[in-house]
Structure 1
Amino acid sequence: MQKMSVTIAKRLLRWIAWAIIGILVLNAALGLWMQHERLVFNDSTCEPIGLYRLLGSPYPLHDGELVEVEIPGPAHHPAVAEGLKYHWFPAGQPWIKEIAALPGQTVRLSRAGVWVDGHYLPNSQVDRWTPGHRHRIVHYPFGTYRLRNGQVWLYAPGNYAFDSSYYGPVPALDILQRAKPWWVIAGSQYWLQRGD
């Protein structure tokens, strides 16, 4: 009886080992395929969750265009430092955002939201608290800004979207590539429900 249970345990361990190897191989194959297809996975609800295809050089930049962007440096952006501290997003993983304004355009930021050259950006109100009121959220100072050469204002329409409303304009050099949705879950940027 004991011999039989040892044999079953060995078989079970062998199956588990093969399952782990299979998962690792599948994961590596998926990663290689995504790299070949120039796809990135966005798990943030700033934009719809899903796969985005990277399209290469973003230049010249256009407002309204989706881009992959480097995370702004936390040393210069208290909101980014706060987000990294509380693990709201992983360090080093680029973001998918929309360019809302380019050099020469005027951005007005208030608690009620963002206006670019007088046009309101939908669902852009500035949140005071994280979901569940766990942490106060640092935001960029309210006011009116005219973007200088080399600056862009980033926007994301999702509930609790983390965009330039919190860390301000970013250097145009932080824009890595243009992007477009490849397969996304429509409406997933609104899954997190806003509180009061």
Structure 2
Amino acid sequence: MKNARAWGKRLLWWWFWATVSLLCLAAGVGIWMQREHLVLNQSTCEPLGLYRLIGNPYPLHDGELVEVELPDPITHPAVAEGLRDHWFPQNQPWIKQIGALPGQTVTLSRQGVWVDGRYLPNSRVNRRTPGGRSAIIHYPFGTYHLKSGQVWLYAPGNYAFDSSYYGPVSQGHILQAAQPYWIIPGSQFWLQKGD
């Protein structure tokens, strides 16, 4: 009986110190990421991994990686749907590419996105979530001429949630320029596209 109690006590202490150690490690990693200006991308928009935020992104350039603020769910039904159905966490940083700038023409169709006649790779619009569980709202198909202050956000990953679903956004949604720090190349294509 004494041996069982002693063993139980040791196990409890081991569990306590393991928990404290993990919490300290998590805090240390969090402090390091904050100091290094790193964010973790867990979405299928861009490769999984860490991205360094490098400050002011202006002037913007086609293809540039940026951290963006979530568009307003009140004016963007696809964003409201994604939040409601938990397709993405509300407080996760969004890393996207600049797909088109003011003055450029974007054509959106079921087959994908063209900017000034140039096709953006892997931009076909998904109609259903992974596994076909739910229909996805997308931005109306058509041709759009971006006005001053508007940008079209693009992400090449399978099941990327970009302007194809919520339309052009204000440049004010762009927070910082970003660059890959440590990523898993090709991870944005792990989920296979359905119909």
Calculate the TM-score normalised by the size of structure 1. 0.98
- Following TM superposition, by how much is the alpha carbon of 1:94 offset from its aligned partner in structure 2, in angstroms? 2.2
SS in 1 for 2:106: strand
- Aligned twin of 1:20: 19
CA contact 2:153–2:168 (8 Å) conserved in 1: yes
Q: Counterparts of 1:159 and 1:88 in 2: how far apart (Å)?
A: 13
Which aligned pairs between 1:106-121 and structure 2 lie closer than 5 A? Answer: 106-121=105-120
Deviations 1:114-141 (A, max 9, x none): 0001100000000111111100000000
Task: Establish whether residue 60 from structure 1 lines up as the match of residue 59 from structure 2.
Answer: yes
- Aligned twin of 1:135: 134
Q: Counterparts of 1:69 and 1:130 in 2: how far apart (Å)?
A: 22
- Aligned twin of 2:81: 82
SS in 1 for 2:39: strand
Percent pairwise identity? 69
CA contact 2:46–2:95 (8 Å) conserved in 1: yes
Q: Counterparts of 1:97 and 1:77 in 2: how far apart (Å)?
A: 17
- Following TM superposition, by how much is the alpha carbon of 1:92 offset from its aligned partner in structure 2, in angstroms? 2.4
What is the RMSD computed on CA atoms of the aligned residues?
A: 0.8
SS in 1 for 2:88: coil
- Following TM superposition, by how much is the alpha carbon of 1:150 offset from its aligned partner in structure 2, in angstroms? 1.0
Which aligned pairs between 1:92-171 and structure 2 lie closer than 5 A? Answer: 92-171=91-170
Deviations 1:15-68 (A, max 9, x none): 101000000000000011111111111011110111111100111111110000
- Aligned twin of 1:175: 174
Aligned residue identity for 1:15: W
Q: Which runs of 5+ in 2 are unaligned?
A: none
SS in 2 for 1:177: strand
SS in 1 for 2:9: helix
Calculate the TM-score normalised by the size of structure 2. 0.98
SS in 2 for 1:55: strand
CA contact 1:70–1:93 (8 Å) conserved in 2: no
Aligned residue identity for 1:110: S
Task: Establish whether residue 185 from structure 1 lines up as the match of residue 177 from structure 2.
Answer: no
- Following TM superposition, by how much is the alpha carbon of 1:192 offset from its aligned partner in structure 2, in angstroms? 0.2
Task: Establish whether residue 36 from structure 1 lines up as the match of residue 28 from structure 2.
Answer: no
Q: Counterparts of 1:129 and 1:50 in 2: how far apart (Å)?
A: 25
Aligned residue identity for 2:17: W
Q: Which runs of 5+ in 1 are unaligned?
A: none
Task: Establish whether residue 48 from structure 1 lines up as the match of residue 47 from structure 2.
Answer: yes
SS in 1 for 2:178: strand
- How many residues align? The count is 195
SS in 1 for 2:47: coil
Aligned residue identity for 1:57: N
Runs of 4+ in 1 over 2 A off after TM superposition: none
CA contact 2:41–2:93 (8 Å) conserved in 1: no
